[in-house]
Structure formats: C-alpha cells, structure tokens
Chain A
Amino acid sequence: MFNRPIKEINAEFLAEDKYLDSIQRTVEESCVAAGMKRSDIASVLVAIEEGASNIIRHAYLYEKGTIRLRIVIYKKMIVFSLIDFGRSFQPDEVDSLDLDRLVESGRKGGLGLYMIRKIMDSVEMISAAGRNELRMTKRIHPRSTDSVPLLARMSSLRVKFSFWTFLIVLVIVGGSYYYIDRQTSKRLYQHLDDTVLSLANTIAEQAGGYIINRRSDAEFDELIVSYLHSNAEFMRLVVLTDSNDNIIAHSEDIRYIRNKYQIPVHIDTTLIGKPQRFTYKNEHLRYVIVPIKAGDATVGKVHVAYSTASIKGQFTQARKKTAALTAVLILFGILGIYLLSNYFVSPIEKITRRVRRFASGDVSSELPLEGAEEFFEISRAFNELTARVSQDRENIVAREKMAKEIEVASQIQKTLMPHRLPDIPGLDVEAFYQAASVVSGDLYDIFQIDETHYCLTVADVSGKGVPASLVMSMLRTVVQIQSQQTKSSRDTLIRVYDYLQSNIPAGMFITIMLAIYDTSEHHLNFVSAGHNPMIYFHANKGEIVKLNPAGMPMGLPDSFSGSFESRLEEMDLTLHRGDFFLMFTDGITEARNRDGEQYGIDRLIAFMEKRLHYSANLTATGLSEQLIAELGDFSPLSGPADDITFILARVVDDTT
C-alpha cells in the first residue's frame, strides 16, 4: 500500500440476519470518519450487506457462525474485509458476472456479487485454511459539501486580513511619500528663489555703485552678462532700469539701452523681491524685481527672470531616494502583515482543522493550549467538548458490550427452560416463569427419570449475565444426569453438589429445591439447598403448611459448606387427591408494592388458603393464573423486581 493506515477497526458479529444492521452501522461510522461522500457511503452499505448476507446464506447456510469485520482506513481509500469460517466461494464464477447474463438466466444468484464488484473499486476473495476473506477496496472521494468551502473560507480570512492591513499600510506610506515630496519641492523652490534674490541684490548693489560713479554702458552690460553667464543654468534674463524705467542694461541685446522698458504683462512692478510667474520664449520662468539704491533713494530696478528647470534634476534625484525609502517601508509592511496574519489566522486555522477532524470522528487528540487569551479559551472549551464526546462514546461502547452480553446470555437461557412439560400421571402441573430483565437467574425444570419417577426442580442462581447463565445451564444438565443414578432427591443433590462445587465461580451461589415424585406410590421426596420452602395444601385436613427441609446453598466457601452433606435433610410426603404443592423462587415473596412492602410468605399462604377453601375444583392452571394476577395487583406498576418462577402441582388421582 502506498500509505500508512490511519485507523483500523475490528469487530465480530453473529452470522444472523438481525445483525446486518449492526454491521452496517459500524461500516457507516467508519466511512463517515474517513470523510467519504454521502452517496458513496450509501452504495458501500449496499455492498457490505450483500457480502454479509452472502456469508449468512451461502457460507454458513444459516447455521451458527460468526462474521468478522475489519475496516482499514487509509488516506485515500478504505478497505473492508468480511471474514467467515464457513464454505468457501468459487472465485472463478465471480469473474464472469455480467448483467446481461443475469437477466438472461432469470435467476438472482450472483447479483449480490455483481453489485459488490460494481460498487467497490477492487474486490478480492481469499480462501485458505477454512477462512474466507472478502476484501473490498473503495477509494475515498472526499465530501465536497463541508470540507472544501471551509478551507476556502479560512484562506479568505487570511486574504481579507492581508488585503485590509496592506491597504492601511499603503495609505500611510503613500501619504508620507506625498508629504515628503511636497516638502522637498517647496524647499528646492525656496532655495532657488533665495539664491536668485541674493544674486539680484548683489547686482543691484553693484549697479547702484556704477550709477553713482557714472560707469559706461559697456561696463553695465559686462556686469549683467558676467552674472548671467556665471549662473547660466537657471538665469535667463537680467535687465537694469533707471527710476524712469528706461533700460540701463539688457542681457538680450545691448541696443535696447535707453529705450523704455516694456514691463511684461502679468508682472506687477509693485511686488518687490517676490518671485512671479512669467512666460518668456515659450519657457515657464520666474521673475523677480529688486530696487537699485543710492543711499536711501531708489535709482532704478533689477529685473531677473530665471528658470526652475534645473530644480527638476535635483528633484528627481530626491524623489528617487524617497521612493526607495517608501519601497523599503512597504516591504517591511508586507512582512509585518504576513507575521500578523500568521499570528491571528493560524490559531484559527489550527482550531478549524481540529474541528474538522472532530467532525469526521476523531475525538481523542487534544488541541495545544496556546495563543492569545481568546484562542486559549476556544482551545480549552473544545478540548473539554472532545473529552466529553469521547467519554460518551466509551459509555456507548460499554453499553453496547453489555447489551451484547445480555443478548448472548438470553440466548443461552432460552435453551434452559423445558420446551414442553411432561405429563405426569396423577399430577396436574403448571409452571410459570417471568424474567425481571432479559437475563434472569431463575431456573425450573420438570423431566421424567424413569417410568414411575419424575424430577421437579426450582433454582435461583445469584448473579446475572453470561456467567450466571452458564452456571444455570451446567446445573440443569448435571441435575438431569445425576438424577438417573438414584431415586433419592437427597442423593441426587449431593451428587450434583459434588460435581458443581468446584465449578461454580467464586461469589456465585445457588439455592435449589429438588423433588422426586414417584407416580406408583404418589410419593414426593424432596430436598432444599437453602431454597424457599415448599407450600403444601393438605386437602383432607384443609390446612396449608410450609415445608422447609434444612440445607445450605451451593457455592458457599468450603469452610461453610464442608457440612453440606451432613446438613442436607430430605422430606417425604404421601400425596392425596386434591393436595397442592407449590415450589417457587424468592421473586414471589420479595415482590414489593408501592409502599416498599414485601409480599412475603404469609400473604402467599393466606392467598392460597383463601382460594383453596372457597373453590374445591380449582385446577393447577386456574390457581396459578390467580396467583399471577394476585402478584400483578400487589405490585401493579413496577413489574417484578426479581424473576418470578414457580411450579404448582395438584394431585388429581391417587387410586393405584
């Protein structure tokens, strides 16, 4: 196999139709646990029923047997084995199955195997050493309905979380970038403006000196041209004017000198020392005016036009740095998001995976208690839940085990009671048996020993379940065998005791009343091993007595029971027409009414006295029906707390 098994389930069932349900339930649980698709489970159940009922019908031919079920779950498949120890199938018949042939034949045989083949992905039949295994493999197609979307939901939680945090980081970082960018540009423009302004002031200062010293036009021209040239990267135009706005020097053309300076449109001459926007020769420029002073008097103006283009270069460089920084920040942001999403989402994912495993049947493993307070709480709550579920499941298993045991015990018990009472000449006998639960500890038996002797026994085994049933079964057999050896009830019971004493499990004991009736002499010889007394109605005297021969229960420890034989007394009765005797177990005397009162032997005697005095022709059947009704009236609702068992006999004939 290409995978290790995840889980193996073994179970054993009796090969009977009524256990098919249990087999299917076991299979269904495993399929659910393995995460199989609903519809696949339905078909697998059909195949399993075919396999199991084939075993019951063909391998065991409805005889007793067992079916072993082994289920091995792998990750991607599940292997079902049905194992029996009956007749083996013929594998070559199986290979040639096809539907048309089945229809053509008009028979049903083989349809089950055809169905198994169709449903399962592979089918093998292995027969060796009286053991047949039908091994069926089914691939697992996972349930699409619950598992996948859950996973999708989980990952989308991570995606959503990452998306929103990323968006927030982006806004913050983008905002900072924009702010820094603006600041940089402002700073660069300011710097240029300041530079130009100070240059213009320097020119104005020098020009002021030139005016005072009445320098030549050429010298003025040289002054401005030299400044223009040394700052050529941004300076475009320098014009000096006198107080009447006549040109003193013009950087463009020397011939403009002494002409009136045409102040460009949009330029406000009153704004001194403030940069203004200016378009010149299709170039966006800035324009600044500073006054030329001679002493305190303004003698002219310096007009400077300059370009901001040079800033762009520096600006791009600064921007590159900012962008690099931003990129690094975003990268750190993404890393942070990843770590955060792990921190928040993975505990949820872990819990979810565990919950899914739980849903598919794994109730044993626990979640590690870790993570933030809330996750810790969830994990702990979940662990408590799984613990409880797993406890419940164990309880169910225990209960099913017990139910199975009760089932087995009651099966054994059914074989214990006599199917039919023998007709005993001269006696009208009625036996009644009612179990408090499915399994009882009571036993009665009536059988013929020889032509003239019959044995009647009533016994009560302490304890319930399979062990008690087995002891009862043993007791019944031993009584039947030992009674063949002697006509004395005392000898019979001593022999029974000798045999049983070493075979009774410790702590279990038996009380028994054993009577042997001799039909030829209407003689009843009986013993009691710690059992309830016999109630005897003497018809001629019209009186009822308790007859309680001494005796100890069987199964007591040896120190007590060393004296079993010596303490065992027998009693003899010669019976006459109309006499009644009743052998019973403590279920009658210990029946309780609603007030918790026991029925008791005195009530029983009083009841029988009353009935027997007032109706002379009462049959055993009639009296026992009345007794049952009486007990029902006494404890009407509760039902019998203990098993009720009795043998009631009436003497009908003593004329031999």
Chain B
Amino acid sequence: MENITISLFESGKDDISEVRVDGVIDTTTSGELESVIDSLLKRQRYGIIIDLAGVDYISSAGWGIFISRIKEVRSNNGDIKLANMVPNVFEIYELLEFDKVLRAYNSVDDARRDFHASAET
C-alpha cells in the first residue's frame, strides 16, 4: 500500500500551521491527515497551509477532509490554503471546481503572505 508522510510546522509568531504532506492521499492514507487537521482545529488553530508539493494523487477522501472542514474554519476567521499543487493534482482541483471553495497558491510563502494581508484588513 501507498505511504504517506505528514510533517507539521507550527509557528508561535503568527498562529499559522503548515502541514507538509508527502505521498498519496487516498482512502487508506487520508485518516492520518484528517487526524492532524482535527488536532489543529481542536486547539483552535484555524490558519492552515497545506503544502502539497510531494503529493501526486488526492482522492475524494483527501479532498473531503478540506471540503468538510472549510466552513468551520472560515467561520472562525481562518482558512485552509493549498500550496504547491503538482500539475496532475491542480488539473483535477480545477476540473472539480474546488477552486470555488479552496484557495490555491504557488508557494507556502504566497499563502502565508495572504494570511497576513487578510489579518491587516
């Protein structure tokens, strides 16, 4: 079976959490990512950047994690921002119109800047 590696970087400075995922997010591996995100939400850390540079496949189980929690996160003035999607994943993200619901960035820094910008306004 495919493997997944999840690394979590939490910054004390700006309350933004960066989740770096490597591998494939499908039915068998999504549980691990889901529990990482839920642990963030439980601690009321609502600024989340998902770094998808190392992910070449996301199934509905993976997308479902973001789609099902985005409402809760936004209602707490947070966001789930996706960064560094590879072309295969990005094409599906657009095809499925997830771009209407989730924001995508070319880099983690872009996503972070956007968090800071919206915090100032």
Contacts and interface: CB of A to CB of B under 8 A. Distances in A.
Interface of A: 17-18, 20, 39, 42-43, 45-46, 49-50, 53, 57, 99, 102-108, 111-112, 114-115, 118-119
A106 B97 contact: no
B114 interface: no
**Top 3 closest pairs, chain A to chain B, by CB:** A108-B64, A112-B60, A42-B88
Contacts of B27: 17, 20, 49, 53, 57
B3 interface: no
A99 B101 contact: yes
Interface of A is mostly: helix
A118 B64 contact: no
B115 interface: no
B80 to A, nearest CB: 11
Contact of B68 (A49, A53, A108, A119): A108
A20 B64 CA distance: 19
B95 to A, nearest CB: 6
B100 A99 contact: yes
B67 A50 contact: no
Given A99-B97, A103-B71, A106-B71, A115 B91 contact: no
Contact of B95 (A104, A105, A119): A119
B59 interface: yes
B26, B69, B71, B98: residue with the most chain A Cβ atoms closer than 10 Å: B26
A115 B96 contact: yes
26 contacts: A17-B1, A18-B1, A39-B87, A39-B91, A46-B59, A46-B92, A49-B59, A49-B60, A50-B59, A53-B26, A53-B27, A53-B59, A57-B27, A99-B97, A102-B67, A102-B68, A103-B101, A107-B68, A108-B60, A108-B61, A108-B64, A108-B65, A114-B96, A115-B63, A118-B96, A118-B97
Nearest to B64: A108
B4 interface: no
A461 to B, nearest CB: 32
A103, A112, A114, A115: residue with the most chain B Cβ atoms closer than 10 Å: A103
A114 B69 CA distance: 17
Contacts of B57: 45-46
A401 B13 CA distance: 57
B72 A106 contact: yes
Contacts of B96: 99, 114-115, 118-119
Contact of B28 (A17, A107, A118): A17
Contact of B92 (A17, A18, A42, A53): A42
A42 B55 CA distance: 13
Contact of A111 (B26, B67, B69, B70): B67
Given A118-B97, A119-B96, A43 B64 contact: no
B97 A104 contact: no
Given A18-B1, A118-B95, 19 more contacts: A20-B26, A20-B27, A39-B87, A45-B57, A46-B58, A46-B60, A46-B92, A49-B26, A50-B60, A99-B101, A102-B68, A103-B70, A104-B71, A106-B72, A108-B61, A111-B63, A111-B64, A118-B96, A119-B96
Contacts of A39: 87-88, 91
B99 to A, nearest CB: 10
A119 B98 CA distance: 12
A521 to B, nearest CB: 52
Contacts of B71: 103-104, 106
Contacts of B59: 46, 49-50, 53
B87 to A, nearest CB: 8
Contacts of A112: 60
A536 B70 CA distance: 71
Contacts of B61: 53, 108
A49 B57 CA distance: 11
Contacts of B26: 20, 49, 53
Nearest to A18: B1
Given A20-B27, A99-B101, A42 B91 contact: yes
Interface string B80-98: 0000000110011001111
B48 to A, nearest CB: 16
A17 B87 CA distance: 26
A102 B97 CA distance: 12
Contacts of B63: 111, 115
Nearest to A119: B95
B4 to A, nearest CB: 14
Contacts of A99: 67, 96-98, 100-101
A376 B4 CA distance: 52
A101 to B, nearest CB: 11
A111 B62 CA distance: 10
A82 to B, nearest CB: 15
Contacts of A50: 59-60
A102 B60 CA distance: 12
A371 B42 CA distance: 75
A50 B57 CA distance: 13
B76 to A, nearest CB: 13
A60 to B, nearest CB: 14
B27, B61, B70: residue with the most chain A Cβ atoms closer than 10 Å: B27
A454 to B, nearest CB: 40
A111 B97 CA distance: 12
Contacts of A102: 67-68
A39 B101 CA distance: 22
B62 to A, nearest CB: 10
A112 B26 CA distance: 12
B95 A43 contact: yes
Contacts of B88: 39, 42
A88 B1 CA distance: 28
A57 to B, nearest CB: 8
Contacts of A118: 95-97
